[in-house]
A = this chain, B = another copy of it.
């Protein structure tokens, strides 16, 4: 299929459809967003200025019904970290973009309009600007409903909430799922603020009238089935994810002593069971919600859920591990209904639940709220939505909160709050947090999945580096990292998928080499933006303060950490 890159200049209000340069032919997802950003964005630019660019790219396999292979990447210079950022999500947009043959959308410049935000609508006939002034300041849920009503009920949406319009560094871009709920978030790094800074409220993607991309492709259809079977046969991707969702690992992380509790002051939470997977499963199924659900067309893993209240009314989809921990245990909250309410509020305003949870933990330490005080936590999130001074502050992320309140214990790297694994107990995660160009981003190399002694400082670096490279491959293909137990164990299946769909005969080893190059491009962008090895570190307190119950600190040596990018020397094509 002919593919294209859409270049949109918000200042000039121009739209151009460009042919895909040959060198980008085999790039997609994170590989493509990071390549474009690193080549076309000045690393020292202000992230909210007209010089930043928002690049949207579905993964290389998008548009197909390969299970779990329609993730959407968005990249930019991050207002949160000040470095390069890629954040990806599920939902339906990547699938639709893939079907429309759109390899990337570049949002450049900045709208000069004073009459409210604009929209970008895409269908098989073209790309159009839309006046969305009527959605100015509106929540993501309200906006999504109005957009689906006004345009196409089945449209894919990328929409920002008030936080993105306020250009807060925790603002995300919400992507809708198959039911239209805007709850699959391009969450991390404040990419919603970049979209907001450009004056864009929403992107509406309609793929009506496009035929199946694999209609004539029997080989692809065969591999689609084969991949689905492989996923179904594995106990985790075939069963556990579907039953328990991403919260699956909560109790084991708690047992390992790595569950962030009350601003990362403990590694286990005495009420963990109340927010664990069994409880979540029981609660949703008793109430008649969906404890399993596919966030993307064709996904057989179905780790997503739709949390409902006591009366069976929808609260939020989906309640996931990081949110449950960071808006739960990390704030001393042990009630799933409460956590779901906070999650929904964050989604509604369009803010990252993770950075919000970490930031609330920091301000709780400063005394702005008490740990365990749900009403106050809710109030504080509402302040973000309202844009009060305190709200804007919390909405600017954990590091800024720490600075303003004089809190030293800020669990962040490169200005980004950590995922829900304390690196003093899950030490490999500390390698990812420290070295990923993304900052403290668990998804860049989700070390909890590794079969290592998580407390041993010696055995982390190499497997975690490997995982970061493999993750880059998956993020570029648009294949969900939750397939890792299958795809990374049997990478031939990825080769088959690519060959069948794209006719590209490539080995996993070559994909890894490409992945290393993408990582190095990201790292080079950060270097030019002003990052050094001094930023490749977990915060000081984690090297000194013992974490219960293991009484452990983060003790992987700086020398060891500094070897992470040693593949930069020589090994690359």
Contact = CB atoms under 8 A, between A and B. Distances in A.
Contacts of A529: 534
Contacts of A51: 540
Interface string A349-383: 00000000000000000001000000000000000
Given A44-B537, A530-B532, A537-B44, A168 B393 contact: no
A448 to B, nearest CB: 27
Interface in A140-196: 166-169, 193
Given A193-B406, A393-B393, A396-B404, A46 B540 contact: yes
B534 A169 contact: no
A44 B544 CA distance: 13
A389 B534 CA distance: 30
Q: Which of A400, A404, A405, A541 counts the most chain B CB atoms within 10 A? A: A404
A408 interface: yes
Contacts of A531: 530, 532
Task: Give chain A's interface secondary structure class.
Answer: loop
A400 B406 contact: no
A301 B537 CA distance: 49
Interface string A386-409: 000110110010001001111010
Contacts of A404: 389, 392-393, 396, 400
B166 A408 contact: no
Q: Which of A193, A530, A541 counts the most chain B CB atoms within 10 A? A: A530
A14 to B, nearest CB: 21
A539 interface: yes
A231 interface: no
A39 to B, nearest CB: 18
Nearest to A534: B530
A49 interface: yes
A511 to B, nearest CB: 32
Contacts of A535: 530
Copies in the assembly, this chain: 2
A563 interface: no
A45 interface: yes
A79 B166 CA distance: 27
A497 interface: no
A477 interface: no
Contact of A400 (B193, B403, B408, B537): B403
Nearest to A530: B534
A420 interface: no
Q: Which 5 A-B pairs have the closest CB atoms?
A: A530-B534, A167-B406, A389-B390, A396-B404, A46-B408
A167 B528 CA distance: 32
Contacts of A406: 48, 166-168, 193, 197
Contacts of A169: 403
Contact of A534 (B49, B408, B528): B528
A43 interface: yes
Contacts of A408: 46, 48-49
A403 B537 CA distance: 23
B44 A534 contact: yes
29 contacts: A43-B534, A44-B534, A44-B537, A44-B540, A45-B540, A46-B540, A48-B406, A48-B408, A49-B540, A51-B540, A166-B406, A168-B406, A193-B406, A197-B406, A389-B389, A389-B390, A389-B393, A392-B404, A392-B405, A393-B393, A393-B404, A400-B400, A400-B403, A527-B532, A528-B534, A530-B530, A530-B535, A531-B532, A532-B532
Contacts of A197: 406
Contacts of A392: 404-405
A366 to B, nearest CB: 9
Nearest to A390: B389
Contacts of A541: 46, 49
A387 to B, nearest CB: 10
A276 to B, nearest CB: 34
Q: Which of A43, A393, A396, A531 counts the most chain B CB atoms within 10 A? A: A393
Contacts of A193: 406
A349 to B, nearest CB: 15
Nearest to A407: B48
Q: Which of A49, A403, A406 counts the most chain B CB atoms within 10 A? A: A403
